[in-house]
Amino acid sequence: MITIITDKINTLNQISYNNFLQNIEMHQLSCFCGLSGCLIKHGYYTRSIKTSHGIIQLSILRVKCKHCGKTHAIFPALIVPYSRVLLNTHLSIITAYISKSSFEPIMMANEYIDESNIKYIIRQFLRHWKECIASFRFSVFDSPDILSKQCLNTFKRQFMQIKCTANILFC
Ligand SMILES: [Zn+2]
């Protein structure tokens, strides 16, 4: 997968995702094999994602490397791969947990986030990410873009991405 930091998406939906795709210089993207300019559109797959505007079905672009044959999904940095919950929501939950504040506003803002989602996210954070980011002095109180960049550069994973599929950062 390839994650791209973008300030072009305010509200994630198919239209903003498609606009984001249109702004990508596809020939500049590079593959794990080290080559750039070799990625071609390979199709779309659907993901369901919980946003503050409800659950959306997003068609996500997959590209394929002409050189090594590997395929990559293209994500804006506000998506956490394999999760239906957006990066901002993950961060709201984790920062509320650390600062011992209420989860109520998060559930109010996003009607599809419930207590079990929150518990799950905190458990995953404690199990997989807390020490990782602490050892590099990364902070969940930094901006999501900074944290994404740090985690993608250092761990080859988006913050809170649990599966270890390598994730390339493209700025
Ligand atoms: Zn390749």
pLDDT tens for residues 94-118? 999 999 999 999 999 999 999 999 9
Residues 6 and 72 in one domain: yes
CA of 39 to the centre of ligand 1 (A): 8
What letter does residue 103 receive in the DSSP assignment?
S
Does a structural domain hold residue 70? Answer: yes
In a shared domain, residues 53 and 72: yes
CA–CA gap between residue 66 and residue 47 (Å, rounded): 25
* pLDDT(132) > 90: yes
Same domain, 97 and 150: yes
Q: What is the pLDDT of residue 168?
A: 84
Position 160 in a domain: no
Domain annotation covers residue 161: no
Residue 32 pLDDT: 87
Structural domain span for residue 118? 87-155
Q: Are residues 93 and 128 in the same domain?
A: yes
Q: How far is the CA of 2 from the centre of ligand 1 (A)?
A: 12
Q: Say if residue 67 is in the same domain as residue 107.
A: no
Q: What is the pLDDT of residue 84?
A: 96
What are the tens digits of pLDDT across the range 7-66? 888 899 999 999 999 999 888 899 989 888 899 999 999 999 999 889 999 999 999 999
Contact predicate 161/2, CB 8 Å: no
> If you measure from the C-alpha of residue 4 to the centroid of ligand 1, how many angstroms do you get, rounded to a whole number?
17
Is 14 found in the same domain as 46? yes
Same domain, 57 and 101: no
Q: Say if residue 118 is in the same domain as residue 92.
A: yes
Residue 61 lies in a domain: yes
| Statement to judge: residues 108 and 143 lie in one domain | yes
Contacts of 65 (CB under 8 A, 6+ apart): 31, 33, 35, 38, 39, 71, 72
Check pLDDT > 90 for residue 169.
no
- For ligand 1, the distance from its centroid to the CA atom of residue 9, given in whole angstroms, is 28
Task: Answer whether residue 82 is part of any domain.
Answer: no
Which pair of tokens denotes residue 152? 């993608």
Residue 41 lies in a domain: yes
As a whole number, the mean pLDDT across the chain is: 94
Considering the domain architecture, whether residues 62 and 91 belong to the same structural domain is answered as: no
Total number of domains constituting the chain: 2
Secondary element (H or E) of residue 154: helix 144-155
In a domain, 22, yes or no: yes
Question: From ligand 1's centre to the CA of 43, what distance in Å?
Answer: 17
